[in-house]
Amino acid sequence: MQRVSFRSFFIFALIAAVVVTAGVVLYWRQVNVLLEKDVKIHIADAARDSAGNFIRLVEKDQEILTTSALPIEDSYPWQDENSLQEMLARLDDKDHFDALVFIYADGRAIYSNTQVRPLSKKAIQDLLRHTSKNNFYSTVYQREKGYPSAILIQAVPVDPNDGVPVGALVAVQKENYYRNVLALTSMGNDGHSVIIERNGNVVLAYENLPHSNLFTVLESVTLDETLTLNGLRQDLAAGKTVLAGYYTPDGKHNFLQFIPLPINNWYMVSAVPAKYVEEQATQVAKLSLVLFGVVFLVFYFLMFFIMRVRDDSNRQLFTTAFVDPLTGADNFNRMCEQFNSRLEGLNRQAALVIFDISKFKVINDLHGYERGNEVLKRVAQVLQEELQPEESFCRLSADKFVLLLKYEDRKSFLKRLKALATQLKRNCTVADSCLVLDLSFGIYEITEDIAFYIMLDRAHLALDRAKTHTFEKYEFYDAADRARIVTEQQIESSMEAALANREFEMYLQPKCDFVTGEILGAESLVRWNHEGRMVRPDEFIPLFERNGFILKLDMFIMEEAARLLAAWQANGTPVVPLAVNFSRLHLNDSRFIPQMRRIMAQYNVPNKLLEAEITESVIFNNLERAQEVVAGLHLYGFPVAMDDFGSGYSSLNVLKELKFDSIKLDKEFLSGFEENPRAQKVIEGAIAMIKTLGVKVVTEGVETREQADFLRKCGADLAQGYFFSRPVTVTTFEQLLQKKTLL
């Protein structure tokens, strides 16, 4: 190593000292400006969060109030005012409102809580006027002069007949309900917000204010040079977001952030004193000086130290960059660097392998991380012993390893890989433990001249499939894997546009009487006509189940069914009930039943004409929630069918716990019964048992006359299958309806 030139070091250090000093001075001048800009950003963010919280608070109240209005509408006309008051009191017990008030169209008011101060006649007339025009209205009720006593009020119309509302349901909030929302705790104890109208009148405030109009306050202060009071008025009238600074007569500097709200053209104004900025700036400046001093002193030492240990540092950097600290073997960076040369050394006759230890976390949980690390070290040791000199490996992450191995043919390669797996299981298990390593291997045969990361990605795809196996967990990369992922990405990127463009179509499969062949109903199915190609349901339905888009698609098909039923009623077409299959995701969606009711009411179709089909497996996985949903559907007159009966092991338990209007026997349950007497007896018994419960039996997958005759003799009510009709377009189905029978 060369000796250090102290003269050169001294000159370099002197120049560095001058540069650092100049930097300190410049930084000191700029820190206040930069911090003020930064705090303004934080003020804007805090104000937006406060506005968002206020909007969400009002929207949550709207949802609660709308839900509370449903039982009031359903029980109309009421027996008397006492029964209405009792209903309001019961509903009030379940929410956080101070009181619920029902206002008749003639101005009479019924209160859930007689202790609450009555609304004024002016307030009542104002609420009736607005709710007759809007589905929701929010306002402020000034109980006393002085803003802390102002109370937020929400109202929704009560319209049981979808005509002229009979009144309005009003929620009166508790005292100071909004105070927490108007407190800017994130910006210091002095920060707070107020709600104003665009003309400056204060609607809600965190605390009592000396004036009822914000512009009156601002007339007595000095605004920043970039803003005038008239300009501020114009910006608020235009609904703009504004950040303003001003100085009070005593010289205090404050900031105001104006955020428009989508409620009654209100604004939220968040106020933060500039002393918050100054305190932050002072703290940062002091800390900066200390840090600069420390850096300045350490700088000389570091420069001298780095020059003395340069060679040692290079060696350490190499170790850090290319050696796995746990196993001591090459790390992923080293494999990336040497991959091409190693591949050429194998004459490009090689395979890239990724393997990991399934459920390795169990080892760490049961035996501790130290023993888990010992297992990983022994894995690396076994690999070093078993691999040939021209081959290589590395630990990719945690318990995942990457290997570059010589490859001749698939049969011999698999034999070697299984022998390697045996060695790993034999030598790398945890001592004194019954746990045996469970290894999964993903293999990419290197046949193309492509980038290393692409090869790695393909081996990963194979590994994902290998993990799904129970025993032989070895999988070679298949181009179909990548094609499947690409296809799924294309589907996800086009699904929203497809729904908006009505590419999804409703098909109908008739449900027929076994004896007469008369169409007595139909199941609504979805088909996707995408760019001239019919996409199979099994290509997109499982994907939509995973990403949640199925919620929108199900409701689209339901609305199509409701629209068709309404059209049949209007033009005299024979009307038969339609069934819609709903995903498991709807069970946990509180909007499920209200959406169904809204759609049916929109098209003026009786609820009894639309049957909700829920699969057996979905019900069994969440039986308690399924009970609530089925009861809710029955409450509003929707028939409910259990789909795919017999496809799992839960059928009898589901029948015991839930009441269905019909049961659909899964086609797999019926498969092959013609040549199987035992299967015939099971089917006969199942149908007989279901019939004793007073439930209709629908059989899917009826494809032959023999099947139809047997199921008819067993007592099944309706048949669905290709023997009668495959799924058809709406136009074709309407033509089939005119035939009266499909036999």
Q: Which H, E and C letters describe 81-98, residue by residue?
A: HHHHHHHHHHHHHCCCCC
Residue 351, SS3? strand
Q: Which domains does the chain have, with CATH numbers?
A: 319-476 (3.30.70.270), 488-739 (3.20.20.450)
Distance CA 270, CA 153 (A): 22
Distance CA 174, CA 153 (A): 10
Among residues 481, 475, 480, 477, the alpha carbon closest in space to that of 446 is found at 477
Q: Determine the pLDDT at residue 147.
A: 42
Distance CA 270, CA 51 (A): 9
Q: Determine the pLDDT at residue 441.
A: 94
pLDDT tens digits along 180-221: 777 776 665 667 888 888 888 888 887 766 667 888 888 888
Q: Determine the pLDDT at residue 434.
A: 54
Among residues 489, 445, 449, 485, the alpha carbon closest in space to that of 465 is found at 485
CA distances from 593 to 191, 550, 586, 607 (A): 43, 16, 9, 11
Q: Determine the pLDDT at residue 181.
A: 76
Q: Which two tokens stand for residue 99?
A: 């009181």
- Other C-beta atoms lying within 10 Å of the C-beta of residue 384: 13
Q: Which residues of the chain have pLDDT under 50?
A: 1-4, 146-148, 650
Output b/e per residue, 160-174; b: 16+ Cβ within 10 A.
Answer: eeeeebbbbbbbbbe
HSE toward the beta carbon, residue 537, CA cutoff 13 A: 11
Helix (H) or strand (E) holding 420: helix 410-427
Distance of CA 275 to the CA centre of its chain: 41
Among residues 412, 408, 428, the alpha carbon closest in space to that of 355 is found at 428
- Other C-beta atoms lying within 10 Å of the C-beta of residue 134: 12
Q: Determine the pLDDT at residue 600.
A: 96
Q: Determine the pLDDT at residue 480.
A: 77
Helix (H) or strand (E) holding 72: helix 6-74
Distance CA 155, CA 61 (A): 10
Output b/e per residue, 451-473; b: 16+ Cβ within 10 A.
Answer: ebeebbebbbbbbebbeeeeeeb
* Residue whose structure tokens are 């969440």: 622
Helix ranges, 475-622 (H) = 479-500, 537-547, 550-571, 592-602, 616-621
Q: Which two tokens stand for residue 226?
A: 């970039």
